[in-house]
């Protein structure tokens, strides 16, 4: 199982060797982080980063080994941005000349870089960035400037106190005209005394959430005051400025020189063949200015992999401690029951264990997807880029939300769900719109979809609807109410009332909240810093917003889904993870064939249920969107429903890729069988948690839902004997886990007791402040005390 988790015998060997190297070196100690002041913490991080670099050089570690060492040091630092964003940005966006100049310096750490994109006023909306880069043809320079307070760069890691250079993103201005956001290499600090250069105002943005945690990182603020840089410091792999022989004829040439992309360098593909002279004349060719955008496939793949690592750490801690902790159940003076044996504990813990493995395997698949997209881009094949963009955006959102966020209770009564499905939605897709019509049975656009018009007052007397693509004329309103179907409920079934739902579903708790849920699974001791969970949560929770706010990303997925539906029936067929939409007619009318609880173990049954749910929720949104004259208004109004449809699509991807993983050859006695159990737990828990969606769209009946829950309980019992082995397969050292509750030997209570006495507050028996504050209270001298 350790090999399966690592990905290969080689990957396991490297990971195991480097993790033990870090764990055995006292120079990488981290158990005192939560007790250090911010200045002490930051200085200690600088020491560790320097010590890590020294170790890498002295041991002559390979690039792979060096990356693993930085990973197991487990402390956010400026080096993360230097190696993870600054260098890859130059690789992906720099010309050969720029790479030859800057990469050797960066590889030797003779310069230290960061990635300055986010501003005080703009994060997700990159096109809204306010920093400007104005080309001066007289000096062949760019003038970088922060025109407003909100244009201040804000949040870049490593910027606050360490970085000497930055990849700064700014609005390109040539001859008074803007040409979008571009990246520039800007020196920030002197390489002699580290002082900020002329026109640079830079510093740290202050303390962040949690003790220790991300406060080891110097997230910074940066303002430019007409800072001049040479023209050749604009990243110009995809766009290039050239000065022709005539000094007065500087041209801006947008050229697709290459569509290569790597790491945090965005793989935005811009096909620009246009010119702008220094006199402000702009000439654009017939080639589309913007052919296609695919954003950060690589970085989102790494974020998904990070989600797996963070969630698996929390699950490892909670699982081991649940086996150590005993509460209640003692009979005749015998031992109390292990907490892990309670079904309530299993129903909260084991789905998270399954999720950790699911995210691991989806991360592996995304690595393949990234390589495939890169190969296609190099061959000028853009066909899979929109699907890859939507896929990575949605999976980044899904995995980080599951891993970090505390989800709120959700009332899943059928009536509430159906009302929610009635809400309008936004649909942005060319001039094409959706019209819902009663169409002949033999129509190629017919999608049989059972409805119950009596539930929502729809004036339809039939149980089926059709989807007809129709070009919308300017000012045309949607179809009349007699042509529109909103309800997904079947008139052939008995109306699904609240009472027909399983009792526990009427106020189903959204339990899959990852690290925070693991903290609660550890009881009161999980709140201690020594549990490792509070700091892990504080370090990981920013993943929900960096590299794309999760809700914004899901809305991007929703746009892609709506566009896909609008193209059904055309010559453009859905591909990849959206290929199930080619069977939309079947998915809109299929019925679950599960008769017994064990039937849910059939991959075909699971996949069809998840595909039908995703398809029906997307189609329902598309139908509602067609009611709006203005698609953008509709999208804004229906954004909540669209997010739910996007989540359904993304969950389908994870389930399907987990199943595909199990179709591969997996070595090790009993390994594949345990992974099958985890796969079924992951899928059936999602079905149980979101059964309101499955029921309201008619994918399953209440009986099917009850059978799924029965099988889920059985699966928990199958995981229980192997739970510790499954988390041991993560192969995390005690140093990396950083948790007394999750220590490998299970000797929790003596270690907790010992750690308590090491706290600085226990350095003296009588606390500082006793004579000033406590004694006056005890002696009734408070009125005369000097406070």
Q: Is 118 annotated as a binding residue?
A: yes
Distance of alpha carbon 625 from alpha carbon 635, whole angstroms: 7
* Phi and psi torsions of 132, nearest 5°: -115, 150
Whether the CB-CB separation of 281 and 507 falls below 8 Å is answered with no
Burial profile 498-535: b = 16 or more Cβ within 10 angstroms, e = fewer: eeebeeebeebeebbbbbbbbbbbbeebbebbbbbbbb
780 exposure class (CB count in 10 Å sphere: 0-12, 13-18, 19+): exposed
Q: How many CB atoms lie within 10 A of CB 754?
A: 11
Distance of alpha carbon 150 from alpha carbon 488, whole angstroms: 46
**Rg of the chain over CA atoms, in angstroms?**
29
The active-site residue, picked from 75, 435, 517, 547, is 547
- Torsion angle of C-alpha atoms 657, 660, 664, 669, degrees rounded to 10: 80
- What are the residues facing 133 on neighbouring strands? 144, 172
Q: Mind spelling out the 3-state secondary structure of 268-326?
A: CECCCCEEEECCCCEEECCCCCCCECCCCHHHHHHHHHHHHHHHHHHHHHHHHHHHHCE
- Which residues have a Cβ under 8 Å from the Cβ of 612 and sit 6 or more positions away? 587, 588, 590, 697, 699
Q: 547 an active-site residue?
A: yes
Distance of alpha carbon 724 from alpha carbon 316, whole angstroms: 8
Distance of alpha carbon 652 from alpha carbon 609, whole angstroms: 9
Q: Is 157 annotated as a binding residue?
A: yes
Cα 416 to its chain centre, rounded Å, is 29
Whether the CB-CB separation of 254 and 274 falls below 8 Å is answered with yes
DSSP code at position 333: T
Distance of alpha carbon 261 from alpha carbon 274, whole angstroms: 22
Of 729, 309, 319, 739, the residue nearest 540 (C-alpha): 309
330 exposure class (CB count in 10 Å sphere: 0-12, 13-18, 19+): exposed
Whether the CB-CB separation of 22 and 65 falls below 8 Å is answered with no
Dihedral sign of CA atoms 535, 539, 545, 551 in order: negative
Which residues make up each annotated binding site? Answer: 118, 157
Which residues make up each annotated binding site for FAD? Answer: 118, 157
Question: What residues are annotated to the active site?
Answer: 547
């Amino acid at each position: 199982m350790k090999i399966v988790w690592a990905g290969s015998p080689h990957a396991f060997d490297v990971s195991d060797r480097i993790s033990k190297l870090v764990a055995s070196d006292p120079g990488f100690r981290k158990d005192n982080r939560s007790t250090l002041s911010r200045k002490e913490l930051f200085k200690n991080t600088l020491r560790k980063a320097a010590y890590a670099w020294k170790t890498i050089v002295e041991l002559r570690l390979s690039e792979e080994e060096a990356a693993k060492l930085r990973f197991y040091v487990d402390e956010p630092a400026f080096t993360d941005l230097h190696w993870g964003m600054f260098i890859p940005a130059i690789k992906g966006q720099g010309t050969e000349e720029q790479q030859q100049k800057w990469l050797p310096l960066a590889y030797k750490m003779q310069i230290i870089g960061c990635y300055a994109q986010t501003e005080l006023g703009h994060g997700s909306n990159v096109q809204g960035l306010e920093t400007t880069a104005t080309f001066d043809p007289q000096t062949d320079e760019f003038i970088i400037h922060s025109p407003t307070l909100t244009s201040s760069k804000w949040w870049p890691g490593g910027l606050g106190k360490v970085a000497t250079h930055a990849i700064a993103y700014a609005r390109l201005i040539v001859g008074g005209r803007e040409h979008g956001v571009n990246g520039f290499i800007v020196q920030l600090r002197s390489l002699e005394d580290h002082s900020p250069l002329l026109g640079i105002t830079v510093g740290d943005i202050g303390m962040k959430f949690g003790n220790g945690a991300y406060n080891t990182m110097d997230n910074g603020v940066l303002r430019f005051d007409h800072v001049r840089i040479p023209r050749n410091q604009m990243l110009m792999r995809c766009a290039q400025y050239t000065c022709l022989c005539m000094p007065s004829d500087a041209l801006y040439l947008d050229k697709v020189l290459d569509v290569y992309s790597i790491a945090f360098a965005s793989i935005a593909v811009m096909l620009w063949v246009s010119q702008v002279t220094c006199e402000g004349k702009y000439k654009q060719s017939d080639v589309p200015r913007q052919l296609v955008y695919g954003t950060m496939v690589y970085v989102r793949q790494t974020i998904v992999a990070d989600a797996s690592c963070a969630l698996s750490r929390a699950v490892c801690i909670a699982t081991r401690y649940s086996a150590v902790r005993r509460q209640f159940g003692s009979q005749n003076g015998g031992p109390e029951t292990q907490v892990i044996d309670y079904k309530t504990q299993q129903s909260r813990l084991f789905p998270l264990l399954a999720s950790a493995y699911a995210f691991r395997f989806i991360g592996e698949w995304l690595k393949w997807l990234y390589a495939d997209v890169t190969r296609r881009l190099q061959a000028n094949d853009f066909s899979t880029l929109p699907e890859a963009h939507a896929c990575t955006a949605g999976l980044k959102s899904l995995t980080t939300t599951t891993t970090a966020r505390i989800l709120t209770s959700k009332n899943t009564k059928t009536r509430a769900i159906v009302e929610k499905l009635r809400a309008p939605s936004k649909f942005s897709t060319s001039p094409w719109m959706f019209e819902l019509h009663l169409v002949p049975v033999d129509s190629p656009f017919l999608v049989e979809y059972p409805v119950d018009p009596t539930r929502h007052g729809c004036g339809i007397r039939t149980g089926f609807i059709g989807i007809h693509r129709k070009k919308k004329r300017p000012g045309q309103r949607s179809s009349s109410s007699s042509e529109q179907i909103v309800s997904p409920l079947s008139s052939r079934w008995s109306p699904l009332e609240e009472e027909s739902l399983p009792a526990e579903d009427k106020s189903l708790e959204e339990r899959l909240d990852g690290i925070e849920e693991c903290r609660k699974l550890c009881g009161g001791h999980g709140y201690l810093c020594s549990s490792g969970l509070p700091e892990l949560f504080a370090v990981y929770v920013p993943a929900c917003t960096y590299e794309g706010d999760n809700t914004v990303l899901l809305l991007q997925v929703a746009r892609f889904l709506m566009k896909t539906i609008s193209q059904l029936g055309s010559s453009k067929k859905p591909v990849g993870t959206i290929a199930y939409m080619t069977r939309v007619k079947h998915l809109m009318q299929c019925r679950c064939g599960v008769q017994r609880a064990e039937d849910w173990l059939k991959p075909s049954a699971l996949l069809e249920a998840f595909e039908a749910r995703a398809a029906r929720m997307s189609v329902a949104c598309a139908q509602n969107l067609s009611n709006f004259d203005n698609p953008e208004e509709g999208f804004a109004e229906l954004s909540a429903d669209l997010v739910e449809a996007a989540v359904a699509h993304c969950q389908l991807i994870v389930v399907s890729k987990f199943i595909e993983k199990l179709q591969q050859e997996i070595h090790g006695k009993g390994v594949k069988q345990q992974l099958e159990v985890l796969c079924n737990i992951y899928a059936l828990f999602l079905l149980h948690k979101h059964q309101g969606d499955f029921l309201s769209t008619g994918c399953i009946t209440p009986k099917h839902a009850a059978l799924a829950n029965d099988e889920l309980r059985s699966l928990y019992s199958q995981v229980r004997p192997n739970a510790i082995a499954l988390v041991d397969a993560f192969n995390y050292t005690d140093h990396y886990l950083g948790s007394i509750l999750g220590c490998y030997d299970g000797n929790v209570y003596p270690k907790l007791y010992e750690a308590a006495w090491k706290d600085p507050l226990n350095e003296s028996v009588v606390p500082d402040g006793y004579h000033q504050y406590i004694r006056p209270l005890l002696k009734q001298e408070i009125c005369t005390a000097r406070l």
